Structure 1
Amino acid sequence: MPDETPATIELFRDDARLRECPATVLAVDERGVRLDRTVFYPHGGGQAGDRGELVLADGTALAIADTRKGERPGEVVHVPFAAQEALLAQLQPGAAVTARIDWERRHRHMRFHTATHLLCALVPHPVDGCSITADYARLDFHMNEPLDKEALNAGLARLVGEAHPVSHRWISDAELDANPGLVRSMSVQPPRGTGRVRLMDVDGVDLQPCGGTHVANTAEIGGVVVTKIEKKSAMTRRVVLGFAAP
C-alpha cells in the first residue's frame, strides 16, 4: 500500500532565519522522523543537511544528526543520533514537538552558500560540482583556463564589502524553460514537478535557481577567502573557500 503521509511544509524555503518551529509528528520509522512542518534543511544541492533537536512536550530532546530528503517529493526525514530508542518510542504520530536547528552551524552554511554565488559571478563558467559544509565550500568549474587566487580573493572582498541585498522569488517551470541561461549547474538541475522554481537574486551580482539557504546581504558573509585552487581534470578547476582567520 503506498505511503500516504503528507509532504512536509519546508519553512526554510521562504525564511532561512527561522531557528525553530512547532510541529506535529507524521511518522517514525527506521529512517528517522517526519514532521508536518520543519525548519531543518535536508541535504541537497551540495549543501549539508541541518542538525539540531526535536524537543518533546516534557522538555526532553531528541538529538538530530542529519536531515535527508525522503523517497517521495516533499518528504523530509530527520535522522537522529544513535542510542535514543526510548525517546524515539515517545514520538508517535500526532505528538507535538518543537523542531530547533543548530543555528551556528546553519548560519555557516548560509554564509558559505551565498559566497559560492559570488564566486559564480567572478568565474563565468558552468559549475559541475558543489559542496557546502560548515567548515568549507567548494565549486568545480567546467573550464581549462588557470585561475588567480589573489584576484578571486580581491573580488570576493569587494562583493562582500559592497553589501548587496540577497533575496529570492519563485518562477514557473515555463519561465525557467524560456530562460535556460539562468541554470549554471551541470551536475544538479533545479527541482521540477511542483510547477515553480526558486530563484536566488544577489542584487546586481548573480541570479540563478537555487533551493539552499542564504544570508540576507553579502556583508553578512564576513571574511571568506579562497584557500585552494586545484586542477581536477583537463576541464575541471576546483575552488575551495574557507572563512578568513579572525
Structure 2
Amino acid sequence: MTKALFHDDAYLREAAGQVTAHTPEGGVVLDASLFYATGGGQPGDSGRLSWPGGAMDVATAVKTESGDIALVPAQPVAAPPVGASVTQTLDWGRRHCHMRVHTALHLLSVVVPLPVTGGAISAAKGRLDFDMADAPENKAELEDRLNDLVERDLPVTQDWITQADLDARPDLVKTLSVAPPRGAGKVRLIRIGQGDGQVDLQPCGGTHVARTGEIGRLRLGKIEKKGRQNRRVYLHLDD
C-alpha cells in the first residue's frame, strides 16, 4: 500500500517516489505519496510530478479500491513508466490552506459540542453539519471562542491507537456520517492542546497545522438549515 508521507510530515513539500502501477483511468500510483488523497471532506492535493524526460501536472489524488493513492493528471499526458523514479512537488499554498481550515473545523467542533453529520473543506473556508435542532443564538460568542483557541497557539499533535482501543472509547468519535480512518489495525488521533490544556482529541486522517496560531483569524459565516435536525455552520479564513 502507498506510504502516506503527509502523515509523517504535513509540511513536506517535495519528495522522491517510484511508480508502482497505473490505474485504468490514467492515474499514477507511487510507493510513497506526498499528495493527500480526497477523503474526510478534505480535497486531494495538487502539484507536479517530474522525471527524466517528462513531467505531469497533478490535478488531485484519490484512493484506489486497493487502498493505494493514485495521482490524477490535470490533462492527458504520457505517464511515467512503472519502475520510474519521480520527484513529487506539492502545490504548497493550496495544501497549507487546507491544513488551516481542517484544523479550524476541529476547533469548531469544540465550541459547538454536538455530533457532526458531515463536513467539507476548501482553500478559503470550511463547514460542519451538526445534529442541531435550532441555530445557535450566540454566533458572535462562538466566533470569539474560536479565535481565543487560535490565539492560545495550542500544539496540534498525533497519536496512534489500535482499532480495539477505539472501539472501547466510542466517545472519541464525533462524526455520525463518516467512519474513522482505519488501516493496518491502527487509528490516527489528532490532539489539540496537551495535558490539562487539551481541548480536543478525535480520529482523523487529514492534514493539520502544527499549532493553532498558524490558522489565523477566523470568521463564522452563515448557518443553514439542512433538515429537521441538521444545521450547517460555515467558517472562513479571515485573510
Instruction: List alignment gaps of at least 5 residues for structure 2.
Output: none
The aligned counterpart of 1:131 is 120
The aligned counterpart of 1:120 is 109
The aligned counterpart of 1:52 is 47
The aligned counterpart of 1:97 is 86
Tell me the TM-score normalised to structure 2 length: 0.94
Q: CA deviation at 1:55?
A: 1.2
Contact 2:146 2:218 in 1 (8 A): yes
Q: Indicate whether 1:82 and 2:75 are aligned.
A: yes
Identify the range of structure 1 (209-218 vs 190-199) with the bigger mean alpha-carbon deviation: 190-199
State how 1:179-198 maps to structure 2 within 5 Å. Answer: 179-198=169-188
CA distance in 1, matches of 2:20, 2:42: 25
Contact 1:8 1:36 in 2 (8 A): yes
Q: CA deviation at 1:192?
A: 2.6
The aligned counterpart of 1:30 is 24
Deviations 1:19-39 (A, max 9, x none): 111000111233200001011
Secondary structure of residue in 1 paired with 2:70: strand
What letter corresponds to residue 150 of structure 2 in structure 1?
V
Q: What is the RMSD of the two structures over their aligned residues, measured on CA atoms? A: 1.1
Match of 1:160 among 143, 150, 156: 150
Contact 2:14 2:87 in 1 (8 A): yes
Tell me the TM-score normalised to structure 1 length: 0.92
**Aligned pairs, how many?**
233
Contact 2:14 2:34 in 1 (8 A): yes
CA distance in 1, matches of 2:76, 2:65: 24
Instruction: List alignment gaps of at least 5 residues for structure 1.
Output: 1-6
Q: CA deviation at 1:146?
A: 2.2
What letter corresponds to residue 38 of structure 2 in structure 1?
H
Identify the range of structure 1 (96-105 vs 191-200) with the bigger mean alpha-carbon deviation: 191-200
The aligned counterpart of 1:149 is 139
The aligned counterpart of 1:213 is 207
The aligned counterpart of 2:129 is 140
Identify the range of structure 1 (108-117 vs 236-245) with the bigger mean alpha-carbon deviation: 236-245
Contact 1:67 1:78 in 2 (8 A): yes
Q: CA deviation at 1:18?
A: 0.8
Q: Indicate whether 1:40 and 2:54 are aligned.
A: no
CA distance in 1, matches of 2:206, 2:155: 16
Deviations 1:184-238 (A, max 9, x none): 0011111234110000000111100000000000000012211111111211111
CA distance in 2, matches of 1:174, 1:22: 34
Secondary structure of residue in 2 paired with 1:185: coil
The aligned counterpart of 1:177 is 167
CA distance in 1, matches of 2:219, 2:56: 36
Contact 1:149 1:229 in 2 (8 A): no
Q: CA deviation at 1:156?
A: 1.1
Q: Indicate whether 1:72 and 2:66 are aligned.
A: yes
Contact 1:22 1:99 in 2 (8 A): yes
